[in-house]
Amino acid sequence: MRQFFKFMFASMLGTLLLSVLMFILFIGFIAALGSAFSLEGKAPSVPASTVLRIALDQEVLDRGPNDPFNLDFAPFKMSSKLGLDDILNNLEKAKRDDRIRGIFLDLGVVNAGFTTVKEIRDKLLDFKAESGKPVVAFADVYTQKSYYLASAADAVYLVPQGDLDLRGLRSEMMFYAGLFEKLDVQVQFIRGSDNKFKSFGEAFTRKDMSPASKLQTTALLTGIWSNYIAQVGEARHMDTTKLNAIAAGLLVRKAEDAVSQGLVDSLAYRDQVLASIKQRMGLDTGKDIEFMELGKYTKAYVAKAGPGGSSSWKQPKVAVVYAQGDIIDGESTDGSIGGATISAAIRQARKDTAVKAIVLRVNSPGGSGLASDVIWREVVLAKAEKPVVVSMGDVAASGGYYISCAADKIFAEPTTITGSIGVFGMIPNMKGFFNNKLGLTFDGVETHKYAGMMTVTRPLTEEEKGIIQGFIDNFYHTFTQRVADGRKLAVAQVDSIGQGRVWTGASAQRIGLVDEMGGLQAATAEAARMAGLEPGGYRTVGFPEQKDFFEQLRSSLDAQARTWVAKQAFGEDAEMLHRFEQVRQVRNMAGIQARMPFAMEVY
């Protein structure tokens, strides 16, 4: 009986605490609603003489979350991810918003790929040129990526004891062959017969980069770096030779060096920078600056310029189908492109008579060959009825290129990683691990000769390897034929630039895989033009339909919780968990893979 009361009171106490917590969260939720929308349901107001503050330390996705309330307090913190679409739209809106006096780039770490950063940077330059409003950048520490963005500003500030990193680009791969040797596991990596650049499996079968992998990685880094210094040099009025010399000699070793080398305009603390902003933007020096964050400004109303004012719901539509993440079979999950989900979204846009053109935004290293082909088919069907334009983000390689190649026109940025026309398959042989490490053995019966061909408890026979090689070679032939048909090239030409090799967007344009340089907005404008729509005479709609707000919130909280636990448990080594994610991906791979040859991170 004592135990009964003990558990009963514990249960009551838990329920009480949970109720109190839910009440506190409910009060916070109502407060957040009040700050995001007035009681009458109006969008947040923008005070006169407001400065738009941009910090990109949170992850930037192609498409922002479905957050109708702008909740930005824990645990209702949807601001953990930003949408490139929202950022670009906000900068466009701020150009004609008389209440916005300028932009403050409050920088440090920028959590986005180089191509995404370039699209934001280009829009900042457009903002400056068309509005005449100033842009000011400030940071305690500039990474190479954040400095690239800051270089677009009218004034670049760094704290007196800060740092600016300019030492060239680096990409590093982790190799697991030694680990698998210790575990007595053999990874059976089978790629297309001529796919020497398709080096994804090398991370599991080698201890270093192959010559082909080094060759293409060097070409990628060189291309990205060339674009980087060309744009920084133009903005800072510096010769690229000097920028290369700064990087090669590590000539910025303290904050003063950044000024003397011409990379930074002045050293200043935050209060001094804010005082400078007031003067530069004509603000009241006796009052605090009215800053507005990107998330809140997204919901602010600004009338469109020109006849008709704001866009009408009766206007024709340009559909933007967002395909970001690994390509998988079935339905999409967070961070992945489900073949069924994206093909259904393209089909929905095709059948919607109000949609006059489709933009497929691709940001993917590839994945399932089958899912890629399913999406490709819907692109072909859509193209037969209305213009389809692809906008490539940071990466649109392998399966990401497969789903792009049938479009009427392909846009990419010079720093986009694309191509990787090739396929592979991997099957681990874990017999040694089971037998020698765990003491496990296996035996069984089969009704037919090849029933056990895909088992991981024994190695493939030479005949089985030949069969799988045939599957892969056949799919590679299909891949090259799809590209040849879509790009109007000879199959032999596609094969010569294929073989699993990756290219920068600039190189891909030169060899015929890409049509034009430009970002998401340029691709959208071209799709509208091809459909005969006038500038400003259409509206864009995103596909597929986003998850319910509270479902997204739950997913966001789950992700934040996992990140927090990893950091608490592993501290600075938490980044290693991200790298070992590759092993988990291999375990979940099924069927032929049209995937980038390596998991590449540029530092």
DSSP 428-491: EE-HHIIIIIS--------SSTTTTTT-SSSPPPHHHHHHHHHHHHHHHHHHHHHHHHHHT--H
For the purposes of burial, counting CB atoms within 10 Å of the CB of 141, is it exposed (0-12), middle (13-18) or buried (19 or more)? Answer: middle
Task: Spot the catalytic one: 131, 199, 398, 556.
Answer: 398
Specify whether the CB–CB gap between 86 and 294 falls below 8 A: yes
Query: Within a 13 Å sphere around the CA of 66, how many CA atoms are in the beta-carbon half?
Result: 13
Q: Is 11 part of the annotated catalytic residue set?
A: no
If one counts every other C-beta atom within 10 angstroms of the C-beta of residue 40, the result is 5
Q: Report helix angle 462-487 to 369-383, nearest 10.
A: 20
As separate numbers, helices (DSSP H) first and strands (DSSP E) second, the chain gives 21, 24
The DSSP bridge pattern shows strands 502-504 and 417-419 to be: antiparallel
Specify whether the CB–CB gap between 180 and 431 falls below 8 A: no
Task: Spot the catalytic one: 118, 128, 198, 383.
Answer: 198
Question: What CA dihedral angle connects 269, 270, 273 and 279, to 10 degrees?
Answer: -130
Q: Residue 52 in 3-state DSSP? A: strand
Neighbour-count burial for 485-495, b at 16+ CB within 10 Å, e otherwise: ebbebeeeebb
Specify whether the CB–CB gap between 375 and 346 falls below 8 A: yes
Q: Is 193 part of the annotated catalytic residue set?
A: no
Residues noted as catalytic: 198, 398
